[in-house]
């Protein structure tokens, strides 16, 4: 049984049919990536999983349990956490305070302290800036903080939405290396990413979205060599 599964999901923005029968699965321990152009439905898929959008048709299941009618805060409590596009940290709060907000559903203080230490091990730069306001961090540091904040909720599935957006190439490589480390430590990841080359380099499997529909699904190595993917998303002719 997949850890996370979407079955024939249709999601709308008003009268706009954004997701048109999406079906996908994420197994325990995997990195699965969604690739596609702007407007393909990648972020909408994550927002539907998180409960921020309710599908008009279809099912979202986590551990075999339907969550498509579950309130977003309850989905977080189940262990589905998202690092959103654009980071959306709290700019006036310190690094430590942002991380503490990520653990708002928890009461196990000792374990929270250990998890914060883990975040600082993954992102040493955050430890160096622990008392600095989030809004004064660089773009790369804010992305690290957004991911760290999600990790403080102890996700069983971590939803990452465009973690490389706006970052310099050297920081992109660093972020993706850390995502691989997070996965190696046992966290299942669903990754939405414009940088298909980097996403497919660390993912186990991938889905290609076009105008709200999945047009291709395969292992990451197979997608990297697929002619359509190479021409449309990897910049290779």
Q: What is the pLDDT of residues 207-236, one digit of tens each?
A: 999 999 999 999 999 999 999 888 887 766
Residue 87 Cα distances to 83, 133, 166, angstroms: 7, 14, 11
Residues 148 and 170 in one domain: no
Q: Is the pLDDT of residue 59 over 90?
A: yes
End position of a domain, from candidates 154, 174, 201? 154
Number of domains in the chain: 2
Q: Is the pLDDT of residue 237 over 60?
A: no
Rounded to the nearest 5 percent, the helix, strand and coil shares of the chain are: 40, 25, 35
Q: What is the pLDDT of residues 130-168, one digit of tens each?
A: 999 988 998 888 988 999 999 998 999 999 998 888 778
Residues 96 and 189 in one domain: no
Q: Work out the mean pLDDT of the chain and round it to a whole number.
A: 91
End position of a domain, from candidates 102, 120, 154? 154
- The predicted model scores a pTM of 0.91
**pLDDT on residue 188:** 98
Q: What is the pLDDT of residues 63-75, one digit of tens each?
A: 999 999 999 999 9
Q: What is the pLDDT of residues 79-89, one digit of tens each?
A: 999 888 877 88
Q: Is the pLDDT of residue 47 over 90?
A: yes
Question: How does 187-225 read in b/e, with b if 16+ C-beta sit within 10 Å?
Answer: bbbbbbbebbebbbebbbbbbbbeebebebeeebeebbe
Residues 124 and 173 in one domain: no
Instruction: Identify the domain containing residue 132 by its residue range.
Output: 88-154
Residues 172 and 212 in one domain: yes
Residues 216 and 126 in one domain: no
**pLDDT on residue 140:** 84
Residues 43 and 99 in one domain: no
56: three-class secondary structure by DSSP: coil
Residues 28 and 71 in one domain: yes
């Amino acid at each position: 049984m997949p850890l996370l599964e979407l079955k024939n999901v249709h999601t709308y923005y008003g009268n706009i049919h954004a997701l048109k029968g999406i079906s996908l699965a994420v197994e325990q321990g995997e990195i699965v990536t969604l690739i596609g152009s702007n407007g393909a439905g990648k972020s909408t898929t994550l927002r539907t999983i998180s409960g921020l959008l309710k599908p008009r048709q279809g099912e979202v299941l986590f551990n075999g349990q339907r969550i498509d009618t579950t309130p977003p805060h309850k989905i977080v409590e189940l262990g589905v956490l998202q690092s959103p596009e654009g980071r959306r940290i709290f700019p006036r709060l310190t690094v430590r305070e942002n991380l503490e907000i990520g653990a708002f559903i928890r009461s196990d203080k000792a374990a929270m302290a250990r998890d914060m230490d883990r975040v600082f091990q993954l992102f040493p730069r955050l430890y160096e800036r622990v008392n600095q306001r989030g809004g004064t961090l660089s773009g790369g540091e804010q992305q690290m903080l957004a991911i760290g904040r999600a990790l403080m909720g102890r996700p069983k599935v971590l939803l990452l939405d465009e973690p490389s957006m706006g970052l310099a190439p050297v920081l992109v490589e660093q972020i993706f290396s850390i995502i691989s480390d997070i996965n190696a430590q046992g966290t299942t990841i669903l990754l939405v990413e414009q940088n298909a080359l980097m996403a497919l380099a660390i993912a186990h499997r991938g889905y290609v979205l076009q105008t709200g529909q999945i047009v291709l699904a395969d292992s990451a190595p197979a997608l990297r060599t697929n002619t359509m993917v190479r021409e449309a998303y990897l910049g290779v002719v």
